[in-house]
Structure 1
Amino acid sequence: MSSIVLALLALGQAAGGAAATAAPAGAQTLQQRFDQATQLAGEDKCAEAVAIFDAVAPRLAKSPVGTAALRVRKGKCLIYLDRGPEGAAMIRASLPVLAAQGASFNDEVIDAHLRLAREAHARFDYDAAAADGRAALALSTGTARLRPLMLLADTLMFDHDGKALAYAQEARAIALADQSLSKKDVANVQTIYARVLMNEGRDKEAYAVLKDSLAKRGGLTSRVGLDDVATRSDLAIAALRNKDMDNARQYLAYTGAGRMADAPYARAVTMKPPICADVPGLTPQDVAIVEYSLANDGRVVGAVPIFTTGKRAAAIAFAQAVSDWSWRSDDVKAIKPFFRLASRVELRCLKTPSAPSLVTPLADATEAWITGQGVPTSPPWADLSDAAALPLQRAAMNQGAAAQQLATLFALSRNAVVPADERAQFAAQALTRANALHAPTAVRTFAAINAIDEDNGNAYRSALRRLLADPQMAADPLSAATLRVLIAVPGYRSGPADDAPQLLDAVIAEPNLPERHPLKVAAMLQQANVRAAKGDLAGAKQAFAATGLTAEQCSLLGITPGLRSTGTTGNDFPMAAQRYGFEGWVSTEFDISADGRTIEPRAVIAYPPFVFDEAATGILRDSRFTSSFRPEGALACAGRQQAVVFRLP
């Protein structure tokens, strides 16, 4: 193709009357440079390829076709280098020029459309991905139709309108009819076809097709590649859907899943599923399997929905949630490269969003003050995962005015990817910077609380008391109220402070805070709990009534009960999981009743998929939390989340 490009360029120069200048002896010709860049791009050495494309570009300036070909190839490399929007825009601007040349550029145009489709798919723009997939398909014939057909089937399989199935059926028919394809090639096509069948609810057909694909791959052998893992993982889902539990576990075991030494899940620092109410049509009953890869810096790349009981919006919501997860780079290095390339996780949505922190009013006051100093409200990392944001935050540490640097230090101190000791250093620097700026007391109090190690319960409460003893913090209504409530509430396996009634009374009586201020409401709720624990039910009812909230609202906004005991026993590890050597990790969501019992625990994230769900929810059913006063036995807390890890001895 590169020879055609430069031949057309030569014709264009001749038509313009310009003579081609011969290359100096020993120097690479324009053709050789272009071919070198193209070869490097084909080897995924895109940084080198882009440099050569940029160097060659001025010499192609007089040829619209040559320039378009160069920009299409450079655009593909930019997409590979995580500069997707820039690369896609470059390809789209240049593609019409190549398409106008007819059959001589047909393969180049098809490949460009497929690259654009994959880039759009990675951004969860499935409409754009389908449009480019159809454009590639319209130009393809024979076996060459397989790539666009499989892409379209993969993109549209959650729409349930029959289109994905039609594309998958055509792809399978072509693959079965083409004797030049290997059995493994046919198995790859059939795996996508079976995946569409599963998402259509045709589980028995999918199971049969996947068994045939497994046979074409040589069965359950100990030597596997990513395609083998995909087929076996899909087989595990199909077996579960067909209630063939033993074979499901066997297929899963032969993917290598469930080996905690190799799996990343226990070491993730941020990992949240989507919230049900945020996505139209998404329900707590919907379940999904998402596959993804990990970059060396801890970012999730290429999150792809494999299966869901919902539709397209649900599939995208689950995959987008996974794309926001983060790992520390040192932890990623400990994961074998094979498992970084493709791991799968089971997800459900959260019924209840996390309740706001008691420090939220101080955080809001801090953000408002920083914004008032001229700092932009949306930094460059605002919509990025912690792992993706970290390099931008580090680069911005010493940039901008002092208030902007303070905002960056706050961001770094709260970035979960940053190691704990370094986060503590950033928090200490933020406190020093806030004091040097003579920031308002609320800002300095927020910085001081942020600098305390909250993992040590007794030390944390003592540190808060020292802050409350500071005359300036004690005199600031918002600072003092925050500190008093934080001191008063129960901690991990510890009850409320001995002087909780006095601390809470002071917050409730604070004249400079509105009657329905969140901290006053929190103080009233905790006051009700304290009085009920002492047998003063009348006083508890009075404190609860003063909040002005319904019992349901309290469960969303109130103070989270402290854990008193777990429900773990020596018999919690499932026997079937032990037999196959599985280890795993489950994140659960549950409500807490007024008497501290858990209600309706459910798995919301699980690795390996479907193995430890029942065991984890069983443990949470037997866990107990501190009691809370609620009229008529209403919920004390809705949407509490807890992780359970399963390890073999």
Structure 2
Amino acid sequence: MRLKSACLSIALAILPAATAWAADAAPAAKPSLQEEFNKASEAAENGQCGTALEIFNRLAVDPRVKPGTLSYAAIAVRRGNCLVSDGEFEEGSEQIHKGLPILVAAGPDFTFDVMRAEDSLGRAAAQAFDHDAAIIHYRKALALVQGAPRAQILVHLAQVTAFDGGTVPLDYANEALGVVQSIPKASKESLAIAYTTRGRIYLNQGQIKEATADFRKAVDLAGGLTLSKVSINDVAIRSDLAQAQLLAGKRDEARLTLAYTGAGRIEKSRFTPGRAMPVPECGQEFGLRPEDSAIVEFSIDDDGHVLSAQTIYSRGNYRTAATFARAALDWSWQPEQIAKVPAFFRALTRVEMRCSNSGAGMPGIVAPLFHRMDEWASPIIQSSGFPNLENSRLYRSREQLHQFGASRETAGDARGAAAAFALAALADGRAIQSRVDEIDHAMALLEGAKGNPQALNSLRVMREVIALAMSASKTKDPRSSAANRFLSLADMPDIAGDALAQATVRLLAAERLSSKAGAEQKVELYQRVADDARLGEGHPLRQVALLYLANIAAAQGHLQDAQGFFQRTGLTEQQCSVIGAAPALRSSRADSSDYPLEALHMGFEGWVKLEFDISADGKTANTRALLAYPPFVFVDAASGMARDFRYATSYRPSGGSACAAQSEVVNFVNP
């Protein structure tokens, strides 16, 4: 603490104009800039960033603090650190970038502040799933520090590389543990975090015995399995141990350990599925296989939206883990629904997740448009000097792209800047304002430079998709509102002259129209896309439209028309069944005997979202669990129940699958 205050005293004292102004003009009773700064820094150091930010925010607009000075830089960086600590990652990163170059240029007196800033930037990048950027920032921070402070940065590096395989993540984790063990009177909590970090790497590398041993040590350091004075960290560590026990085949031990997390045992309230819980599609678009799975940990805000998410365990690489975590960021609950769940459990919840086969390997509606954008923009930024980092296509860094775009704009390269900003928006799957801002900026640059019209259209559609996702929770009838906005966009002259953009928007509109009130309009939109010769035979969007038309015709009993639409797609019957109208459930045959006895005796409640195919005779097949809460407690029971589900019979030319990837939620409620 004293070291940082001393460094910042230098930052303020070497600026005579600002310091003299404060001395001459400030009343004696009013704290000086230095006193205010020290007070804010002390509050931040003590974990009181709310108090610190109030002071830093005042200092940031104080006329005595001149932009470009060391005092300005020191305030901006420390303010940014606090914002990152409070979860305001984008604003925090922006503040840090304002001051960091000045502190770096000021020399070794500011080494500690530079280290803290790089660590904060690493945390912000990791939160945005910018794998490469996070590693770059953490390594810069690590190079600036020796001794005990290295432990936290090493833990962060171990976490961001945990799914990369090889020895590197374990090297980071082992060094972090060694540093903590070397600290005299190191806290048990610090040791538990170090063991947990290494245990998770062992877990993801399939070294279950070693993972279990580390998690047991962490649990013991945290006080063992008790129900008194349980913290969020205790819940996380116990959940890790339960996962390792399950993978080791010790199911009874796993359930017992899980009971001490409180998951599935919330008094006076049940944690029920949210109003929107999409999972990623299996296939090439996300690089996921049906056998891939993950345990995702997330927190939920008071308004029902997910605040943060991270993958704890995954059968896959970093891209797989990041894709599952990104999906959770799009989940939401009704505010009144989530208000019934205690804040403690909303702060840390875990589910088991798998990808969906509902796309059968086909691209999503917007995928061809986004692919066209990537094909236009990627060669431009590469030719403009964008660094070709290892795995950059998999872990393309949004931060790096944004900074590159800013540098190209400064250099007068509007086209290169627009391409970088567009790819920065593509690199993040969240519905957030900063993506809209990046798209608006890219569009302005392209329009000013009279750039590629198709790129502009892709950006217009992308912007609308993100903006509608952002406003969905605030709109009375979000689906109808979205359909109308997409229909208006489809009629814009620029969009109408671009076959791919117009077809994309029409399908997005049809998706959101009511199956009853908007039935005729849906058919008209699908027909227009199916017959749009500008797209070419076999185009994915024409196939999607034809599949919808086939299923609508079949549902109306027009079997010959349905067969004709099927044949025009050029797809197999299995692929056609994916987008079929789901047959009605006739009987579940569920009764109390389906409740797992061990879960019943231990008081567990929960739910499983299943996915399965429905054959033409109404029976189910190929059952998979997409989501399960708590993880691994009810999956087997729910899958067994699905075998007894019976649906209405359906027409298929060969009598094969009537509906692929149908989903149902099975709830397990203690009587």
Indicate the RMSD between aligned Cα atoms, in angstroms.
4.6
Residues in 1 aligned to 2:159 and 2:145: alpha-carbon distance in whole angstroms: 18
Match of 1:613 among 635, 638, 663: 635
The residue identity in structure 1 corresponding to 2:282 is: C
Matched, 1:478 2:532: no
Query: Structure 1, residues 157-205: CA drift from partner, whole Å, max 9, x if none?
Result: 1000211100111112222333311233211211111111111111001
Matched, 1:639 2:637: no
Residues in 2 aligned to 1:13 and 1:542: alpha-carbon distance in whole angstroms: 83
Query: Structure 1, residues 313-346: CA drift from partner, whole Å, max 9, x if none?
Result: 1000011111111122233322211112111111
Report if the CA contact (8 A) 1:272-1:321 is conserved.
yes
Matched, 1:552 2:574: yes
Work out which of the two has the higher radius of gyration on C-alpha atoms and give 1 or 2.
1
Report if the CA contact (8 A) 2:577-2:660 is conserved.
yes
What secondary structure does 1:571 align onto? helix
Report if the CA contact (8 A) 1:540-1:629 is conserved.
no
Query: Structure 1, residues 378-434: CA drift from partner, whole Å, max 9, x if none?
Result: 9xx998868x78xx9xxxxxxxxxxx9xx99x9989976469xx4499879989x99
Report if the CA contact (8 A) 2:66-2:72 is conserved.
yes
What secondary structure does 1:288 align onto? strand
User: After the TM superposition, which residues 314-463 of structure 1 pair with which residues of structure 2 at under 5 Å, given as runs?
Assistant: 314-353=320-359, 417=473, 422-423=476-477
Displacement of 1:623 after TM fit? 0.9
Residues in 1 aligned to 2:102 and 2:227: alpha-carbon distance in whole angstroms: 49
Structure 1 match to 2:498: none
Displacement of 1:109 after TM fit? 2.0
Structure 2 match to 1:235: 241
Displacement of 1:22 after TM fit? 5.5
Report if the CA contact (8 A) 2:279-2:327 is conserved.
yes
CA 1:227 to 1:10, structure 2 compared with 1: closer, same or farther past 3 Å? same
Report if the CA contact (8 A) 1:72-1:95 is conserved.
yes
Report if the CA contact (8 A) 1:355-1:556 is conserved.
no
The residue identity in structure 1 corresponding to 2:326 is: Q
Match of 2:14 among 7, 11, 15: 11
Matched, 1:580 2:602: yes
Matched, 1:562 2:562: no
Match of 1:218 among 216, 223, 236: 223
Match of 2:40 among 21, 37, 40: 37
The residue identity in structure 1 corresponding to 2:61 is: A
Residues in 2 aligned to 1:82 and 1:220: alpha-carbon distance in whole angstroms: 30
Residues in 1 aligned to 2:110 and 2:667: alpha-carbon distance in whole angstroms: 54
Report if the CA contact (8 A) 2:264-2:629 is conserved.
yes
Displacement of 1:518 after TM fit? 7.1
CA 1:520 to 1:149, structure 2 compared with 1: closer, same or farther past 3 Å? closer
The residue identity in structure 1 corresponding to 2:236 is: A
Residues in 2 aligned to 1:575 and 1:629: alpha-carbon distance in whole angstroms: 39
Match of 1:105 among 91, 106, 110: 110
The residue identity in structure 2 corresponding to 1:578 is: L
Residues in 1 aligned to 2:526 and 2:359: alpha-carbon distance in whole angstroms: 27
Report if the CA contact (8 A) 2:355-2:626 is conserved.
yes
Residues in 1 aligned to 2:337 and 2:247: alpha-carbon distance in whole angstroms: 34
Q: TM-score, normalised by structure 1?
A: 0.74
Displacement of 1:233 after TM fit? 0.6
Query: Structure 1, residues 343-370: CA drift from partner, whole Å, max 9, x if none?
Result: 11111111223999xxx9xxxxxxxxxx
Q: TM-score, normalised by structure 2?
A: 0.72
Residues paired across the two proteins, number: 560
Residues in 2 aligned to 1:194 and 1:204: alpha-carbon distance in whole angstroms: 10
Residues in 1 aligned to 2:511 and 2:318: alpha-carbon distance in whole angstroms: 43
Report if the CA contact (8 A) 1:12-1:63 is conserved.
no
Structure 1: any 5+ residue segments left out of the alignment?
Answer: 361-377, 393-403, 435-442, 455-459, 483-507, 509-513
The residue identity in structure 2 corresponding to 1:323 is: L
Structure 2 match to 1:597: 619
Displacement of 1:6 after TM fit? 3.3
Report if the CA contact (8 A) 2:295-2:313 is conserved.
yes
Matched, 1:172 2:177: yes
Report if the CA contact (8 A) 1:279-1:314 is conserved.
no
What secondary structure does 1:161 align onto? coil
The residue identity in structure 1 corresponding to 2:40 is: A
Structure 2: any 5+ residue segments left out of the alignment?
Answer: 366-421, 437-459, 489-504, 532-536
The residue identity in structure 1 corresponding to 2:631 is: P
What secondary structure does 1:591 align onto? strand
Match of 2:187 among 142, 158, 182: 182
What secondary structure does 2:165 align onto? coil
Identity of aligned residues (%): 37
Query: Structure 1, residues 595-635: CA drift from partner, whole Å, max 9, x if none?
Result: 12111111011110111111111122211222222233322
Matched, 1:55 2:61: yes
CA 1:627 to 1:149, structure 2 compared with 1: closer, same or farther past 3 Å? same
Report if the CA contact (8 A) 1:157-1:199 is conserved.
yes
Displacement of 1:94 after TM fit? 2.2
Residues in 1 aligned to 2:545 and 2:286: alpha-carbon distance in whole angstroms: 32
Match of 1:145 among 145, 150, 153: 150
Report if the CA contact (8 A) 1:354-1:640 is conserved.
no
Residues in 1 aligned to 2:478 and 2:317: alpha-carbon distance in whole angstroms: 43
CA 1:215 to 1:642, structure 2 compared with 1: closer, same or farther past 3 Å? same
What secondary structure does 2:358 align onto? coil
The residue identity in structure 1 corresponding to 2:171 is: A
CA 1:9 to 1:194, structure 2 compared with 1: closer, same or farther past 3 Å? same
Displacement of 1:264 after TM fit? 7.3
Structure 2 match to 1:85: 90
Report if the CA contact (8 A) 1:290-1:345 is conserved.
yes
The residue identity in structure 2 corresponding to 1:34 is: F
Residues in 2 aligned to 1:524 and 1:228: alpha-carbon distance in whole angstroms: 53
CA 1:528 to 1:87, structure 2 compared with 1: closer, same or farther past 3 Å? closer
Residues in 1 aligned to 2:77 and 2:306: alpha-carbon distance in whole angstroms: 27
